Chain A
Amino acid sequence: MAARSITKRFPGVVANDAVEFEAEVGEVHALLGENGAGKSTLSNMLTGLYRPDSGHIEVGGEPVQLGSPRAAIAAGIGMVHQHFRLVAPFTVAENIVLGHDPAFLLQRGEIEQRVRALSQQFGLDVDPTARIWQLSVGEQQRVEIIKALYRDARILILDEPTAVLTPQEADKLFETVRALARSGRTVIFISHKLHEVMAVADRVTVLRAGRSVATVRTADVTQRVLASLMVGREVAGPERIARQGPVGEPVLQLADVSAIGDRGVTALSGVSLTVCAGEILGIAGVAGNGQRELAEAITGLRRCTGTIALAGRPLASGSPRAAIEAGIAHVPEDRLGTAVAPSLSIAENLELKRYRLGGMLLRRRAMATAADQLIERYEVKAPGPHAPARQLSGGNLQKVVLGREFAAQPRVLIAASPTRGLDVGAIETVHAHLRDAASRGVAVLLISEDLDEILALADRVAVLFEGRIAGELEGSIATPEALGLLMAGGSAAA
């Protein structure tokens, strides 16, 4: 498979600019790039969701027109999306033949047999008669892979496949990927994680700002070389910013907190935590193990049982207003959907939590001035205080959110995946702000699925697994391996 000089423009941006790459039969070829480098746009064109403005795609040396996802499947291209395309109440086998089975009646027995054969061949354990909602995220991913193989995909595109997996599950996935390549298939592995790319790929094409910068053999390069290709300059991993000075009094205390998740099952059970003034407590874990519910319980967005106390005073459950008034700041995971009202201006979004403090009337002029000051102080790139929040890029939006939350002079800050989707520069800024807040005596709870982030910032790390605290480690001695074991449900080794 090859992409020849592919260009795709969206209003205001060139997402792909003359991108070239070539993946051989039996090869694992990685597409490496930062968020926004154009990886997703490219893969959407390879699977027929978008059409290139210019350039073309070749499969087996022949140019192909991929006008629709159906055409891409016919050309032997299969895709495993980051967000799975599965129907939860259906069985594995039903999902696999969905939209594909040419027969009018489902030949269940036959389908299940073929699914079993494929799972055995590539080490993809999954029960074809199980229903999707019963499966773990890792298992669902296997269903997606089998789905592509069932349709005779010769080329398999995996988009950020490890984002939802534990380190152990990821290792298992890598074995499958290599088995697929050995069977003569081509695997295109999209990622922004260097160590994964080094571990699994034969060759790498690096994308930066919509251009293909280089294609190299992983055997010939180091992670450092790839990193500098990716960002265009030399970088180290996120530097650990350790705490200076002693930890203060306990501020936020959770005792035996349990909550029900959106699916109606217990998402958080018996969590007890303490965060002290001036300390960053990291919460690590694979996505979907209760992190969101934990943040929502503390900030009053979700009802819970047990007690949440702030400096010894218990907080009313299920009242965001009470949490705000008690001095709990919240940087939610879902920036555009929760942290701001997207159509409202920056100035209005800054008022979101303090508009109740004044009288009955809004002071629009003062709001605009405050927004101007924040834009200047946090170096937000924005057209002005009246620009709608949704026009801002992720990093700039996060600066607005942080600025607002810090302006309230909180005693506790709950930060959930505060750097997801941000580029390296913005990540550094956000990390510096978090550490700075802690050094001013704020108790910071950092919930993140990104282990590097946890290791860079946390003074202590607690791991959430299936809604429980699986273990707690000192930040200075925590290693990815020890945390990975806890994240997978193992017992504390340290």
Chain B
Amino acid sequence: MIRAERRLSEPRWLRLAVPLLSIAVAAVVGAIVLLATGHHPLATYHRILSAAFTADGALSGTLIAATPLVFCGLAAAAAFRMQLFNIGAEGQLTAGAIGAVAAGLALGNAPTWLMIVAMVVAGALAGAAWASIPGLLRAFARTNEIITSLMLNYVAALLGNYLIFDSLSYWRDTSAQAKVFPQGRPLAESASWPAYGSSIVVPFGMLVGVIAATGLWFLYRRTRFGFEVSVLGDSLRAARYAGIRTRRTILSVMALSGALAGIGGASQAGDFAHLFDPRALQQEGFGYTGIVVAALSRYHPAAVVAVAFLLGGLKNAGFALQGPDFPSGLVGVLQGLILFCALGGELLARYRIRIGSATAAAA
């Protein structure tokens, strides 16, 4: 019989040893897969590392891939900390992109600083509004937010498709060449967010993400609101007993989570796409990867940034790796193996596995 028991205390060395061991296990299993498909494991790993971090321009690509993961990771972490399982970052990010692009288009040729402020605020508001739907349902009707927030992801995706492909909406490019291939209306030049650095290019959204992570850490660690969140996350009864307004707090956290994802959507529009592109967002699935980021970082904002950077590297390496000699399916297998081992390792760190029952008494 195999049982998993929660560890009473978690030794410090485990926190370091477990992730390292997880990666080692992933490397070994990955090597078997690579050998079986006729690839050289060490050479492949070297290529992954190089494509993710060490090659020329690799870090820039990694940062680009990591930026939306920071926002979605923070969005998930903000809610999960209170045992509020908002898995709708995907839809909230889409809503945020819609809002930010609308603000950008409405402002026409306004100066860049104003564009950034308007797009961030509009993205945050749209994401918060989208997340408030499951938030209100949870707070006042006790609906399971996992299901409602998940279902709204599909609604957001279809709404995006409708705006670009099935209607002549404000977001759709109505110029002559876009009649055949529908696409979003491009933003003005001044709506492009700046990027910094020459050899390593840091997208502006990444800076916003780091600021958001710091803000979230401060909010949860040092403020009254953060205290209410930690009490409510631990025990609903204790929170009621302490006079915490539980509905208001649930709604606030849900809106905060949605706002973070929404800024991620604004960053996608401002940093990279410069228009609203629903198909691209759907293919990426940032919201779901954000849940993995939050789980691996144990909902700690600083760890979210670090984990997002690592997963961004993995994703970036995937782009570089795939080609005629290396099918993209195999890239996916390797990425999946690493995530699988990392999450499995997390389980081992929090629980210990006992094999066999307590030995029966020797008569």
Contact = CB atoms under 8 A, between A and B. Distances in A.
A320 B230 contact: no
Contacts of A323: 243
Interface string B193-234: 000000000000000000000000000001111111011001
Given A54-B361, A344-B231, A355-B227, A320 B237 contact: no
A143 interface: no
The 8 closest A-B pairs by CB, nearest first: A321-B243, A341-B234, A352-B242, A341-B238, A320-B243, A338-B237, A341-B235, A343-B234
B177 interface: no
Given A11-B8, A332-B241, A341-B239, A362 B227 contact: yes
A343 B232 CA distance: 11
Contacts of B43: none
A82 interface: no
Contacts of B237: 334, 337-338
A361 interface: yes
Of B227, B240, B362, chain A has the most CB atoms within 10 Å of the CB of: B227
Contact of B223 (A12, A55, A351, A362): A362
Given A51-B361, A53-B361, A364 B240 contact: no
Contacts of A344: 230-231, 234
B361 A301 contact: no
A67 interface: yes
Interface residues of A, number: 43
B242 A51 contact: no
Nearest to B245: A321
Contact of A353 (B226, B228, B242): B242
Nearest to A302: B240
B252 to A, nearest CB: 14
A344 to B, nearest CB: 6
Given A51-B357, A54-B362, A342 B235 contact: yes
Interface in A171-191: none
B238 A364 contact: no
Nearest to B8: A11
Contact of A338 (B223, B241, B245): B241
Contacts of B358: 51, 53
A337 B231 CA distance: 12
Nearest to B362: A54
A52 B358 CA distance: 9
Contact of B240 (A55, A320, A351, A360): A320
A65 B360 CA distance: 8
Main secondary structure of the interface of A (DSSP, over half): loop
A320 B224 contact: no
A339 B238 contact: yes
Contact of A56 (B235, B238, B361): B361
B35 interface: no
Nearest to A330: B241
Interface of A: 11-12, 51-56, 63, 65, 67, 299-301, 319-321, 323-325, 330, 332, 334, 337-344, 348, 351-353, 355-356, 358-362, 364
Contacts of B222: 361-362, 364
B363 interface: yes
A404 B237 CA distance: 17
Nearest to B235: A341
Contacts of B360: 51, 65, 67
B240 A301 contact: yes
Nearest to A67: B360
11 contacts: A51-B360, A301-B241, A320-B240, A321-B243, A337-B237, A339-B238, A342-B238, A348-B227, A352-B238, A352-B242, A361-B223
Looking at A351, A358, A362, which has the most chain B CB atoms within 10 Å of its CB? A362
Nearest to B231: A341
Contacts of A300: 243
B224 A356 contact: yes
Nearest to B242: A352
A48 B165 CA distance: 65
Contacts of A341: 230-231, 234-235, 238-239
Contacts of B362: 54
B27 to A, nearest CB: 34
Given A338-B235, A341-B230, A360-B224, 18 more contacts: A12-B8, A51-B358, A53-B358, A55-B361, A323-B243, A330-B241, A338-B237, A340-B235, A340-B238, A341-B239, A342-B234, A342-B235, A344-B230, A344-B231, A344-B234, A348-B230, A352-B241, A361-B224
Nearest to B5: A11
Contacts of A325: 243
Contacts of B361: 51-56
A348 B234 CA distance: 12
